[in-house]
Structures are given as structure tokens and as C-alpha cells.
Amino acid sequence: MSLSLLIITYMALTPVPDLLQQSVNDKLGHILAFVLLAFLTHASWPGKIFGWRHGLPLLMYGIALECLQYFVPGRYFSFLDMFADAAGIVAYLLISRLYSRKPSSLDRTSS
């Protein structure tokens, strides 16, 4: 988890040309990064259901990155990026809920 946070923070705060900022791939990258962070957060507490207590700190991390990007040359503050971060967290929330409701092979054989 810590290594992922360091890599994502480095990537978010490294100056880049403006051409990369406007692409759809940028938003997809935000979504995938936060799905990964949500998964790693959930994996850190395997006995707990992933919920707002896990997702809110991740969202605050995303907001903090956006605020810091305002001061980085070639980067800028973006509400759309924060929305993409939140979408990644919500996507993981939905995936984890669907996965937890799926009956396991052991449940089917014991009936």
C-alpha cells in the first residue's frame, strides 16, 4: 500500500506537458489508480467490509493531490480529476459488494 501511494504521489506531482492533461486516458488513469488504492486498502483489513471509513481518506488524498498540483508547473487543479478519483473508489465499492454476494463453490457443494 505504501509503495503504491508513493508511486501515485510521485506521478501526480511530477511536472508534465499540458498535452497529457486533457486526454481521456488521464481520467481512466485516475479511476484505475483509485480502484487499486481502494483494493489495497480493503486488503489491509480483510475482515472488514469496504465502506466510507475506507473510501473517505482515499478521496481526501485525491483532493490533496489536486490542491498540490496547483503549485506544480505543467499541472493544474481539476474537479474532473477528483470526480474520476471518486468514481474509482465507488467502482471498487460496487465490485467488492458484488463479489462478496457471489456464492462460493463451497456454498454450492454443501447444499
For the chain, percent of residues with pLDDT exceeding 70 = 83
pLDDT tens per residue across span 9-61: 998 898 876 555 556 688 999 999 999 999 999 999 888 888 889 999 999 99
Return the pLDDT at 104. Answer: 57
Per-residue DSSP letter, 103:
P
107 pLDDT above the threshold of 70: no
| 62 and 85 Cβ atoms separated by less than 8 Å | yes
Does the pLDDT value for residue 111 go beyond 90? no
User: Count of CB atoms within 10 A of residue 42's CB?
Assistant: 19
* pLDDT at residue 83, rounded to an integer: 97
- In 3D, which of 52, 7, 55, 51 has the Cα closest to residue 29? 7
10 Å Cβ neighbour count for 67? 11
Does residue 102 have a pLDDT over 80?
A: no
At 1 the three-state DSSP class reads: coil
Q: Which residue has the cell 478521496?
A: 59
Q: For the chain, what are the domain ranges?
A: 2-9+25-100
Q: Share the mean pLDDT of the chain.
A: 85
Name the nearest CA neighbour of 68 among 3, 29, 15, 5. 15
Calpha distance 43→108 (Å, rounded)? 25
Mean pLDDT score, 78-93: 96
